[in-house]
Amino acid sequence: MRRPGLGRTPDVVIGSARVESHGPRAIVVGTGDRVDVAVGGGQAPLPGGMNSQAGDGIMPRHLAIVVIPLPNGTLLRAISLHPERGFAVLPTGGRLPGGEAIEETETATGSVLGWNSLRLSFDGYVLDVEVEGAGASDILEVLPVGLQLAFHTGAPLRPVGSAVSSVAGPDGGGHAIPALVLPEVVPSEPSTLVLRARSGVFRVDVPVDDLMRGVLVGRSRRCVLGRGFDENDGLSRVHALVMSLDEPGTAGVFAFDLASRYGLRDVSRPSRLVPMARLDDGVGCLVYGAGYLTWEPG
């Protein structure tokens, strides 16, 4: 992770991490104290300080890089964990762009799927992700910001029909009040995420397309499961990412820990922290004190 220099100011290395894994996992970038790549978090001001492109700086859990090892290479998927925060995709390798160019780069990407390596720019920083010993890199798919995950949005309403009179008095009033209905939703054979907690069983249906993009589990309003819990329930604001993978050799539904405070835990050994757990094998995982997380096919 680097901060490009301005003018003759040299580039500044913010942080680096080397992660070894034998299966899919998520690498988290942000200012939190448990992330894999820490940015800021109490560091001294950087020379030639830049303005944040988004204006709000780096978030505690800003990005997740899902790493999917395959026999002939490694898929890398970078995901913004915030519905309104994006990044830019830069050409990999070669000279790092200058700070002025980085500041002018449009950060409208919410997710990118790449092969073997990625170079991303956000909030004045540049993140290089490289797989050791990998071959040529390639960009396979880009999603715009807002569409990178299936964030919780609530039940939207739409107006239908003509306006009706106000019910303020017997003679009406002149207020236009359209009828409101739930929009029609095309069924997509949803599966179900289930969290069995001390306070009850919480279930949420997740359409196939949403599960392929990924959904969040946690107390934050953007999460599809876990809203309504409090900080004493062992559930972080953004605790885990649940995603369906369809690549040969790694096909299945997985829960990835997102640098949460208490992590994901092995069902048979609750003291054992795991960075990733498979949910479609009938076992599931523990979300610390919050409960037992499983997945049920549609």
Cα–Cα distance, 194 to 202 (Å, whole number): 6
Residue 263 reports pLDDT greater than 80: yes
Cα–Cα distance, 296 to 281 (Å, whole number): 10
Residue 184 reports pLDDT greater than 80: no
pLDDT of residue 163: 47
Of the candidates 6, 68, 12, the one whose C-alpha atom is nearest the C-alpha of residue 40 is: 12
Contact by Cβ (8 Å): 66, 243: yes
Cα–Cα distance, 277 to 182 (Å, whole number): 35
Residue 165 reports pLDDT greater than 80: no
**Average per-residue pLDDT in the chain?**
82
Cα–Cα distance, 194 to 206 (Å, whole number): 11
Tell me the domains of the chain and their CATH numbers: 2-144 (2.60.200), 191-296 (2.60.200.20)
Banded model confidence at residue 195, pLDDT cuts 50, 70, 90:
very high
Percent helix, strand and coil across the chain, each rounded to 5? 5, 40, 55
pLDDT of residue 56: 59
**CA 4 to chain CA centroid, nearest Å:** 25
Give me the percent of the chain exceeding a pLDDT of 90.
51
Pairing of β 276-278 and β 73-80: unpaired
Of the candidates 255, 222, 224, 220, the one whose C-alpha atom is nearest the C-alpha of residue 241 is: 255
Residue 189 reports pLDDT greater than 60: yes
